[in-house]
Structure 1
Amino acid sequence: MIPADLSHAVVRAVRRAVEDGELAGDVPERVVVERTRPGGAGEYASPVALQVAKSARREPREVARVLAGRLLADESGIESVEITGPGFLNFTLAPVSAAALVRQIRARGDRYGYAPGADLRGSVVRPAVRRIEESQGIAGAPAPRVAPVARRDGDVVAAYGADAAAWAMLCVPARETPSFTPGLLVQDESSEFFRVRYAHARARALRTNAAGLGFRAEPGDAADGRALLRVLAEYPLVLEAAAHHQAPERLTRHLVAVADALLDFQHLVLPQGDEKPSAAHRARLALAEAAGTVLAGGLALLGMDAPDFL
């Protein structure tokens, strides 16, 4: 199970509990599942029991116990469920299969993560929010209130370029005034904006270099890419949360995490010295290509290009 499947699994658990008479009330169309905050229990958490308790006329912790039991019994991808506080469900997932995840990203392309189914900053933030919402099947939500670019910053598009200026406007919550610094123009890994675009270019370069060595990507076990695998698996969940909260900054943060994981991993992809291409190299290349797909898709949702070369 990848993290994005978790919210659907929780909805199924509520529906089955209602159908079997364990719970009464309404079944939500979707539930919020987010990464657990530092110091919290498990990897992911959801307040769904508090949401369902009102219509079920039960205490939230009672609802949580019912759902926890069903999820552990019916969903093989969940390793453990813990109930904390007034009724929060906290999940730990079983390890994700690298081959299965890469195949899913390949099949969906830049639409991986999509749910089945007038001022300068406003002109950047609102379309990005709309695209992220549309990727999750959300339509008609009120547009977020957007703090404008400060007058002191002047013509930021002319000063930094359209994409770099847009990144600065999107990487902080819409209600906050964005900050523009010379770091946006830096072409090295000290710049998050540069790292995201550079990581995409590196993914493309790895594919080209592998072709020159006579091998292509093939999904398989990539145990040495666990950090990259984790952030790729979380991407659909991040999109869902970004849409729910109208918060494109969640997407920018996650793209940085994907880029950093890919840049740390890239050195393992190609054979070194006299080493011959192996199944492990093909699997690593497939994982790197999947990361490039996610970076391109995320940048497209933000209204930015994903360069093949930098």
Structure 2
Amino acid sequence: MTPADLSLTVLHAVRRAVDDGALRVDVPPSVKVERGRPGGTGEYASNIALMLARSAGRSALDVAGILEERLRDAPGLRGVEITGPGFLNFSLRRDAGAELVRAIRAAGDAYGSGTDLAGTVVRFAEPAESRASLVTHTVVRLLRAQGADAGFGGDERIHVRAGECQEDTLGTDAARWALLRPAPQDRPLDGQPLLVQHERNPLFRVRYAHSRVRRLLVNGEQLRVTPAYETDIDAPALLGALGDHPAVLLAAARHRAPDRVARHLEATADALLAFQHTVLPLGDEKPSAAHRSRLALAEAAGTVLAGGLSVLGISAPDRI
């Protein structure tokens, strides 16, 4: 992990804290990290908590604690320690990418599920309105994936209405995205643009990114490049998005907010689409450990995209 990677990782933690409602501040455009000074711990340090404390209306130590919680399992970090009035000190890992890819491969579509909400019991009344029904059933899936005992007070209906009037014209996937992508208090999206196969369509970008991974794996097999994370890959945006996925799912469950999953899938897809051109050998370039590692990382991204779409009840086609 480079200093630039670390800066981006800390910035992601600030943004998650703001999205979660733990911090009420404007997200800064960047975060400065410096080499650790004598008397400190770790290789790098940041005073971001001190900078945000006044606008957050909290002590720097409180802000540092909020950020440390969200940095604890970040790819590339061996440890995070708070020192002095609220400095964050970072110890780096050298094998974080490999560990992340291994974790995603082992978990498959269930990557990001956990037991943080074990012991939590949540019962909903079955909503009569179609959008509320879809959101509530999606929230139940999110809660259960985090270990909660979630369900409905009466008979739980298996069929979830994704907005019958929209589904007739848009199809299930576009109708679900139109209803789940905005925050529950916001108006549904206009459905017709979601049917256009264009990069301006976020649903298309997410599903297309998954299909690109499937094509890369097929092309890799033809070139005798098999996915295996053997060397560190410089892809901080993609690694950061994949590493953030469990925290995003947990926050979406806690806050009853499926829209957070949809927004995260967009960010993951954008990072993958920017990365995809480097994955396989070009021209006379010979396959190498770097190509195998990039393909393994792309495969992991495809797994996360498929799993996230599944949580929303949306299909992830192999070809578009």
State whether TM-score is above 0.5: yes
Q: Distance in 2 between matches of 1:35 and 1:61?
A: 13
Matches within 5 A, 1:46-195: 64=62, 77-79=78-80, 81=82, 94=92, 97-116=96-115, 118-140=128-150, 155-195=165-205
Equivalent position amino acid for 1:218 in 2:
A
Q: Distance in 1 between matches of 2:173 and 2:188?
A: 14
Evaluate the alpha carbon distance shift between residue 241 and residue 93 of structure 1 in structure 2; reply closer, same or farther with a 3 A threshold. farther
Evaluate the alpha carbon distance shift between residue 65 and residue 214 of structure 1 in structure 2; reply closer, same or farther with a 3 A threshold. closer
Evaluate the alpha carbon distance shift between residue 125 and residue 285 of structure 1 in structure 2; reply closer, same or farther with a 3 A threshold. same
Q: Distance in 2 between matches of 1:79 and 1:170?
A: 35
Equivalent position amino acid for 1:196 in 2:
V
Does residue 1:266 correspond to 2:267, yes or no? no
Q: Distance in 2 between matches of 1:111 and 1:161?
A: 26
* Residue of structure 1 in register with 2:250 after alignment: 240
Identify which of structures 1 and 2 has the higher relative contact order when contacts are C-alpha pairs closer than 8 Å and 6+ apart.
1
Cα deviations across residues 224-247 of structure 1 (Å, max 9, x unaligned)? 222100100000000011001000
Contact 2:78 2:91 in 1 (8 A): yes
Q: Distance in 2 between matches of 1:224 and 1:216?
A: 19
Contact 2:233 2:290 in 1 (8 A): no
Q: Point out 4+ residue stretches in structure 1 off by more than 4 angstroms.
A: 31-37, 40-45, 60-68, 88-96
Equivalent position amino acid for 1:38 in 2:
V
Cα RMSD (Å): 4.0
Evaluate the alpha carbon distance shift between residue 224 and residue 168 of structure 1 in structure 2; reply closer, same or farther with a 3 A threshold. same
Equivalent position amino acid for 1:213 in 2:
L
Identity, % of aligned pairs? Answer: 42
* Residue of structure 1 in register with 2:223 after alignment: 213
Q: Secondary structure at the match of 1:306?
A: coil
Evaluate the alpha carbon distance shift between residue 119 and residue 293 of structure 1 in structure 2; reply closer, same or farther with a 3 A threshold. same
Does residue 1:225 correspond to 2:235, yes or no? yes
Q: Secondary structure at the match of 2:248?
A: helix
Contact 1:34 1:237 in 2 (8 A): no
Q: Secondary structure at the match of 1:276?
A: coil
* Residues 109-118 or 197-206, more deviating: 109-118
Q: Secondary structure at the match of 1:77?
A: strand
Q: Distance in 1 between matches of 2:149 and 2:91?
A: 30
Which of 278, 300, 304 pairs up with 1:290? 300
Alpha-carbon distance, 1:44 to partner: 10
Which of 191, 210, 213 pairs up with 1:203? 213
Which of 32, 38, 51 pairs up with 2:27? 38
Evaluate the alpha carbon distance shift between residue 155 and residue 237 of structure 1 in structure 2; reply closer, same or farther with a 3 A threshold. same
* Residues 153-162 or 188-197, more deviating: 153-162
Evaluate the alpha carbon distance shift between residue 176 and residue 44 of structure 1 in structure 2; reply closer, same or farther with a 3 A threshold. farther
Q: Which runs of 5+ in 2 are unaligned?
A: 1-8, 14-19, 32-45, 50-57, 119-127, 154-160
Q: Distance in 2 between matches of 1:309 and 1:291?
A: 16
| TM-score relative to the length of structure 1 | 0.70
Size of the alignment, in residue pairs?
256
Alpha-carbon distance, 1:269 to partner: 0.5
* Residue of structure 1 in register with 2:35 after alignment: none
Equivalent position amino acid for 1:112 in 2:
Y
Q: Distance in 2 between matches of 1:271 and 1:138?
A: 45
Alpha-carbon distance, 1:177 to partner: 2.5
Q: Secondary structure at the match of 2:230?
A: coil
Q: Secondary structure at the match of 1:223?
A: coil
Q: Which runs of 5+ in 1 are unaligned?
A: 8-30, 46-59, 144-148
Contact 1:65 1:83 in 2 (8 A): no
